[in-house]
Amino acid sequence: MDILHGIRANLAQFTLQLLQVFFVGATIGMTRTVLPVLAESDFGLAKGSFLALTSFVVVFGLAKALLNLFAGRLSDRWGRRPVLIAGWLAALPVPFLVLYAPGWGWIVAATVLLGVNQGLCWSMALNSKLDLARAEQRGLVNGLNEFSGYAGVALAGLFTAALAELYGAREGLFWFGTLTVLVALALGLWGVRETRPWALAHQRVHPKGGTPAPMSLRPLFWPATWHDVRLRALHQAGLVEKFTDAIVWLFFPVFFVTRGASLVEAGGLVAVYGLVWGAGQLVTGPLSDRIGRKGLIVWGMGLCGVGVIATGLTASPLLWALEAAVIGAGMAMLYPTLGAAVADLAEPAQRASILGIYRFWRDLGYAIGGLALGLTAQWSGGLGAPFWLVGVAMLLSGGYVALRFVPSR
């Protein structure tokens, strides 16, 4: 089998992997508007239970973080495709749990499985595209990957909000989720190829040469987490930026609806954030290959922090839409760039494992951020304080990257 690197040389498989991450985004996007707003009326959550509301994002983050950590290691040993298929099998029960949920606990269980699906499938779709592409295309790959995934998130959130108003939350989510998972699983079984050989081919032309034996996770974890100051700066930025996505997921829909927006309007406002984030990465991903990673990360963190604070201080749908676009632009600047910066520092044969460690810390931000948001809202008795918490955290985290990260490009 001839192994050629480059997006154009592997366009059919690259496109299939983009579709995979689109469907992964759609499976989590279907929870973005409907579940937070209808948690009380349709799923039995007590009024004002901010901490309980955040529980489904906390467990999602824990599940996804742990699966990210081990998915890369497993795929380095056994291949990308088996791990991808396992992720879609884990998602099969989710629509049924939502349809028949007698209470909020079943929704929490469903989001654990969504975390498993995300941790396995999103990771493999990205790793496979990095395997297929050339080294100088990493920023473009991350941009295309995140565009596809977050386009799925945004469109699913808007579409399921409309379905919930037409058919009810349970039925709308059930049919959307079932169709999404089955189509993605079918593509994984009958379309996707194994890309591990492309990663090994990268390693053979790496400056250090050869194909090193896979290391166990333990000797990789702490050096990648703490000893390398550059990776440490990237890990903390990845963790903190999930505070922004957590507040958009948890509190933006509730915030908009309590201030007069309809469910579909709230879904549209959240979709602005997701679509700008997704589409913007088509520019920022390859831009980081040209101008470097650091500036995009630092300024992206700053835009997100300012945008979140401003959203909590305004009451106009037009301003909310503009602020959602600013936050989405900030995420577009920082998100693919962080992943590309980590990939720059990893040897090809260990790239999936190093990226898995980064994604572990990044997605642990859902759990830490969700818990912090729930405690802050519960303690303050409202949604104002969480906006300040996230905004200040983003600004401080961006400052740390500015001080401590020395990029390789």
User: What predicted TM-score, i.e. pTM, was given to this entire model?
Assistant: 0.89
| pLDDT recorded at residue 217 | 66
Mean pLDDT, consecutive 10-residue segments, the chain of 409 residues? 87 96 96 90 82 93 89 83 96 96 93 94 91 87 88 94 93 96 97 91 64 61 84 96 97 95 94 94 90 95 98 96 98 93 81 84 95 95 95 98 82
317-344 helix and 294-313 helix, angle to the nearest 10 degrees? 160
| pLDDT recorded at residue 206 | 57
| pLDDT recorded at residue 1 | 58
| pLDDT recorded at residue 153 | 94
| pLDDT recorded at residue 123 | 87
- Sorted by sequence, the CB contacts under 8 Å of residue 304 that are 6+ apart come out as 241, 244, 327, 330, 331, 334, 394
* Domain residue ranges of the chain, discontinuous segments joined by +: 8-203+217-404
What is the C-alpha to C-alpha distance for residues 390 and 35, in angstroms, rounded to an integer? 21
Q: Residue 146: what residue type?
A: E
| Residues 241-250: b if buried by 16+ CB within 10 A, e if exposed | bbbbbbbbbb
With H, G, I as helix, E, B as strand and everything else as coil, classify residue 193. coil
What is the C-alpha to C-alpha distance for residues 107 and 104, in angstroms, rounded to an integer? 5
| pLDDT recorded at residue 214 | 52
Q: Which two tokens stand for residue 39?
A: 């948690």
| pLDDT recorded at residue 207 | 55
| pLDDT recorded at residue 205 | 67
Question: Does domain 8-203+217-404 match CATH 1.20.1250.20?
Answer: yes
Contact yes or no for 381/288 (Cβ under 8 A): no
Q: Which two tokens stand for residue 10?
A: 């592997």
